[in-house]
Amino acid sequence: MENYFEPKLPKLEINEMTALGLAHMGDCVFELLVRTWLCSHGGAKVGALHRATVAHVAAPAQAARMDRMLPLLTEEEQAIYRRGRNAHVHAVPKGATHQQYAKATGLECLFGALYLLGRRERINELFILTMEEDDHAL
């Protein structure tokens, strides 16, 4: 691969990665989308931007977003999500239940896989569809 900014890995390589490896990638993809969304909606003060970002990327918020996103997924995307949701994690943050953390890991796994597959339009579509509710909260 020569372009690490816009990867497009073969499906076989994605299938060989661990679910937590994909979630590691998806964590930063999701946070970048949230930060971009917040900045584009007029966020100016750094402290407020940071608090809003943390609120959106926390496991309970990601789990709620995944509940809204699940009906929109293809069978292939659902399989990737389940792979992340069912991954064995060693610790769950204090502010989340095990179920919330599992759903959040599934979301991150999905976004990581889609990003590495080069499916940025699909990531954006899913992100926008599940952020519409939050648009009114700003």
Catalytic residues: 27
Question: 89 burial class (0-12, 13-18, 19+ CB within 10 angstroms)?
Answer: middle
Asked if residue 27 lies in contact with residue 108, where contact means CB atoms within 8 angstroms, the answer is yes
Asked if residue 104 lies in contact with residue 7, where contact means CB atoms within 8 angstroms, the answer is no
> What secondary structure letter does DSSP report for 90?
S
